Amino acid sequence: MALAGPAPIASPLAELMPADLPLREHVQLQGLWHRYANATAGDWTLQGIDLALHQGELVGLLGPSGCGKTTLLRLIAGFERPERGSVLIDGRAVAGQGRWLPPERRGVGMVFQDYALFPHLDAWRNACFGLRRGQDSSRASWLLELLGLNGLEGRYPHELSGGQRQRLALARALAPGPSVVLLDEPFSNLDVEVRLRLRSELPAVLSRCGASGLIVTHDPEEALAICDRVAVLRDGVLHQCASPRQLVQHPATSFVGRFVLQGNLLPAQRCGEQVVTALGSLHAKAGSSLLPQGGAAGDSEEVLVSPEAIGLHPDAEGEAWVQGREFLGREWLYRVQLGDLKLRLRLPLEAEYSRGQRCRLTLRPGALGVLFPSQQALQVGPPAQRP
């Protein structure tokens, strides 16, 4: 039976807003700079972040450990103050532009990795915890039902499984009707099956609630699988924020290509209309010409190719060697070393090579690549004709 949602709850910020303001962007981050008190002068944790979350969308925040993901959530929630720039929620500044709203007045829900439930409150009282005095609790019971927790209202957190606890944490975050929910690695304490199920349910739950979500993860596969858009951070700098498809097809920087797509970066040199790498040559796609070299003069160029684009040929005289492999179920993921280059190759199950195997590597005919810094799309040409 389809669950009918309760009437939408006005954001706590609604009274501050002009009535005719369209709620198209729930959160806007404008030129956010932040550094912690113990940081040295030029040591910024976040550097000029511009980002918007549209109503009902789930945006992933992806980046290596220490790049500033949690800090960004803390700035939106109001646990940290930005040094420069502003945070707008539902069109109104809550930090910056001479304004400051404390966390409890921002109308933001939070879900943490460790659930952060109150151990002395049962599931029902945990779910209702964030409701304002006199606020209708029917939304909390609707959420418990939506999240499959009906019948468990009287249980305490220690009487729930990890997956049930995280569902309860989500219900608690959504019960007051926030316009945005911040989720900090919410699935990382869960086993694989529960994690996959919960993460696939999250976009639908948020959209049923009309809330937008910003979810921190350092798993590129997770971000690409469930998010409408993914923001990629490195060292406090936003490299790209785009749809998963856009990220995969048009990575803005070589870092995005390497980190998000797990691609290989090959040093490259131009030779006429060819881009030459240690594994073979590529040319501009669709017969077009190579663009002039992008970036600052003298910048070296690199070609990004996927782990599927490289072929491995056993050869006792070869310069490359197999460092290790992982069984992925339907294929192998090989780690291969060629000089200073550490490469990742995805090969079919028939391709069984042991550690230490000497080999030659080639780019597969027709494989695609991206040239950085110009971001030009490239393709591996047909193999050279033998005389």
Ligand X SMILES: Nc1ncnc2c1ncn2[C@@H]1O[C@H](COP(=O)(O)OP(=O)(O)OP(=O)(O)O)[C@@H](O)[C@H]1O
Pairing of strands 58-62, 229-234: parallel
Residue closer to ligand X, measured from CB, 79 or 118: 79
Residue closer to ligand X, measured from CB, 222 or 301: 222
- 106 binds ligand X per the rule CB under 6 A: no
Q: b or e along 346-383 (b: 16 or more beta carbons within 10 Å of the residue's beta carbon)? A: bbeeeeebeeebebebebbeebbbbbbbebbebbbeee
Q: Quote the least distance from Cβ 37 to ligand X, whole Å.
A: 7
Q: Quote the least distance from Cβ 101 to ligand X, whole Å.
A: 21
Tally the residues of the chain: 387
Q: Quote the least distance from Cβ 71 to ligand X, whole Å.
A: 3
Helix 162-174 to helix 138-146 angle (10° resolution) is 140
Q: How many residues bind ligand X (CB under 6 A)?
A: 12
Site string for ligand X, 6-35 (x = CB under 6 A): ------------------------------
Q: Quote the least distance from Cβ 374 to ligand X, whole Å.
A: 29
Give the binding range for ligand X (CB under 6 A) out of 13-21, 67-75, 152-160, 269-277. Answer: 67-75
Whether a cis peptide bond, with omega within 30° of 0, leads into 387 is no
Q: Quote the least distance from Cβ 49 to ligand X, whole Å.
A: 12
Which residues in the 323-382 window bind ligand X by CB under 6 A? none
Give the binding range for ligand X (CB under 6 A) out of 24-32, 65-73, 220-228, 359-367. Answer: 65-73
Inter-CA distances, 133 with 128, 130, 250, 339, Å:
10, 9, 49, 66
Give the binding range for ligand X (CB under 6 A) out of 68-76, 160-168, 287-295, 306-314. Answer: 68-76
- 70 binds ligand X per the rule CB under 6 A: yes
Q: Quote the least distance from Cβ 217 to ligand X, whole Å.
A: 9
H helix intervals, the chain: 69-77, 123-127, 138-146, 162-174, 192-209, 220-226, 244-249, 254-259
Residue closer to ligand X, measured from CB, 122 or 219: 219
Q: Quote the least distance from Cβ 186 to ligand X, whole Å.
A: 13
Pairing of strands 99-100, 92-96: antiparallel
Which residues in the 177-236 window bind ligand X by CB under 6 A? 218
Q: How far apart are CA 4 and CA 278, in angstroms?
A: 60
Q: Which of 36, 79, 100, 118 binds ligand X (CB under 6 A)?
A: 36
Which residues in the 281-320 window bind ligand X by CB under 6 A? none
Q: Which of 30, 44, 69, 211 binds ligand X (CB under 6 A)?
A: 69
Q: In what order do the strands lie in the sheet with 341-348?
A: 310-314, 358-363, 320-327, 331-338, 341-348
Give the binding range for ligand X (CB under 6 A) out of 3-11, 60-68, 87-95, 172-180. Answer: 60-68
How many other β-carbons are positioned within 10 Å of the β-carbon of residue 340?
6
Residue closer to ligand X, measured from CB, 38 or 40: 38
Give the binding range for ligand X (CB under 6 A) out of 7-15, 58-66, 101-109, 200-208. Answer: 58-66
**What's the angle, vertex CA 281, arms to CA 279 and CA 282, rounded to 5?**
125
Q: Quote the least distance from Cβ 154 to ligand X, whole Å.
A: 34
- 65 binds ligand X per the rule CB under 6 A: yes
Q: Evaluate whether 307 touches 333 at the Cβ level (below 8 Å).
A: yes
**What's the angle, vertex CA 221, arms to CA 58 and CA 327, rounded to 5?**
165
Helix 192-209 to helix 162-174 angle (10° resolution) is 10
- 71 binds ligand X per the rule CB under 6 A: yes
Q: Which of 68, 178, 251, 280 binds ligand X (CB under 6 A)?
A: 68
Inter-CA distances, 273 with 210, 254, 373, 379, Å:
51, 21, 17, 12
Q: Quote the least distance from Cβ 74 to ligand X, whole Å.
A: 7
Q: Evaluate whether 233 touches 63 at the Cβ level (below 8 Å).
A: yes
- 45 binds ligand X per the rule CB under 6 A: yes
Contacting residues toward ligand X, per CB under 6 A: 36, 38, 45, 63, 65-71, 218
